[in-house]
Structure 1
């Protein structure tokens, strides 16, 4: 279904090093297609989180070109980056919820930044919280939530605005297997609506849940991508 369509993300000869250390990522050449689903795998220390940081534009490469939505991200002025980042949903491994905001307001934040009318966003956020099993926690604050609940809030916030690209770092690491499968179903539904999804995970069971997923494997800083099984 992606034949003939331009990539939504492209890496050309991208490398990343921190300081004067050796490269963490080397010679990355790949393209992410619209409407596609990718699992990112690899051993601890392979550079998965670093690659995700490049994907959501939190980190600049040491060399090479990253193109997002047809734009060379390295050539864009600083003021052009926030609008570009708003097209990307991110599920962080450490959640990064805003402590002084309620669960509802954390999830509503992307819609408010996007200037969605309050009466419209209230229904969307309430429905999303019900879907992830947190409708009864809408007025709670992150400090009183369990790790699994915080994870679900972070995921709800990342997907509420239907981003064009969703990047998720171990998004099911703090929830039970049943909720993990439910969250993957949510990512699949978002993918069917047109979002390109990249999920970093060690969970082989989850990897088998999505038959259309491409498999991205990092090993010693280098990446290979396998097509979905027929």
Structure 2
């Protein structure tokens, strides 16, 4: 994070796959710590591609991306894992490890970060209980429903309290009651300082987080209905 508070900065970023036309064009924006952003747009607008840039799974075709005060384009590849560990990701296709239990899938980020085994049980059990899976702690992903797998994926993404959480349609496989509960979890993390970016086509979600800011993608370009691209950082309590 830089001295003026920015956490992510895009400057004239474009992305194309191969020789096709750009799927993202002329993206310039700043994300600030402690803010909650919704990324909306029709199917095919480029939401998933933009999220891939945000969690460093994809490099842009042009432009500059600065993350946590570091030029993410020119930095040595050896430093990328450390930067990625500051970002929690909820994937649309979950990406759980099928031979590991729900407990071990959720514990994975803590183990990678070097936490001792004796310190894992409490936090992992607490977060699985919060997402309604206390009774499925030993279950492996193939035995879980789609909604249960989604909740395990969300628990794994937030267990290490990342500086930024990026979520691609995180409520797409859960019922409305659980969707609201998950949004409250994201809000709680946000109030504690995590920058949250949720991509969704569910416009009802936008009304459930009153202080959220909206970035709207239309054919690869961003519009700014709530001032998200220029909003000053909120003072943390």
Pairwise TM-score range, normalised by the shorter structure: over 0.9
Residue in structure 2 matched with residue 161 of structure 1 by the alignment: 160
How far does the alpha carbon of each residue in 1:67-120 deviate from its partner, in whole angstroms, 9 at most, with x for none?
Answer: 100000011111100000000000000000001110000000000111112122
Q: Secondary structure at the match of 1:75?
A: coil
Cα distance between partner residues in 2 of 1:165 and 1:225: 20
Tell me the TM-score normalised to structure 1 length. 0.96
The offset of 1:6, in angstroms, is: 2.3
Unaligned runs of 5+ in 2: 229-237
Cα distance between partner residues in 2 of 1:82 and 1:119: 25
Asked if 1:14 corresponds to 2:9, the answer is no
Q: Secondary structure at the match of 2:155?
A: helix
C-alpha contact 1:213 1:228 (8 A) present in aligned 2: no
RMSD across aligned C-alpha pairs, in angstroms?
1.2
Q: Secondary structure at the match of 1:94?
A: coil
* Runs of 4+ with >4 A deviation: none
Cα distance between partner residues in 1 of 2:213 and 2:227: 5
Tell me the TM-score normalised to structure 2 length. 0.93
Cα distance between partner residues in 2 of 1:228 and 1:102: 42
Cα distance between partner residues in 1 of 2:98 and 2:19: 36
Cα distance between partner residues in 1 of 2:5 and 2:227: 19
Cα distance between partner residues in 2 of 1:194 and 1:5: 15
C-alpha contact 1:5 1:34 (8 A) present in aligned 2: no
Residues 1:159 and 1:224: Cα distance change in structure 2 (over 3 Å): same
Cα distance between partner residues in 2 of 1:7 and 1:164: 12
Residue in structure 2 matched with residue 179 of structure 1 by the alignment: 178
Cα distance between partner residues in 2 of 1:228 and 1:55: 19
Q: Secondary structure at the match of 1:205?
A: helix
Residues 1:136 and 1:228: Cα distance change in structure 2 (over 3 Å): farther
Residue in structure 2 matched with residue 94 of structure 1 by the alignment: 93
The offset of 1:225, in angstroms, is: 2.5
C-alpha contact 1:37 1:197 (8 A) present in aligned 2: yes
Residue in structure 2 matched with residue 50 of structure 1 by the alignment: 49
Residue in structure 2 matched with residue 77 of structure 1 by the alignment: 76
The offset of 1:135, in angstroms, is: 0.8
C-alpha contact 1:211 1:228 (8 A) present in aligned 2: no
Cα distance between partner residues in 2 of 1:202 and 1:88: 22
Residues 1:131 and 1:228: Cα distance change in structure 2 (over 3 Å): farther
The offset of 1:203, in angstroms, is: 1.0
Asked if 1:120 corresponds to 2:144, the answer is no
The offset of 1:183, in angstroms, is: 0.1
How far does the alpha carbon of each residue in 1:28-59 deviate from its partner, in whole angstroms, 9 at most, with x for none?
Answer: 00000110000000001000000000000000
Q: Secondary structure at the match of 2:22?
A: coil
How far does the alpha carbon of each residue in 1:8-41 deviate from its partner, in whole angstroms, 9 at most, with x for none?
Answer: 0000000000001110000000000110000000
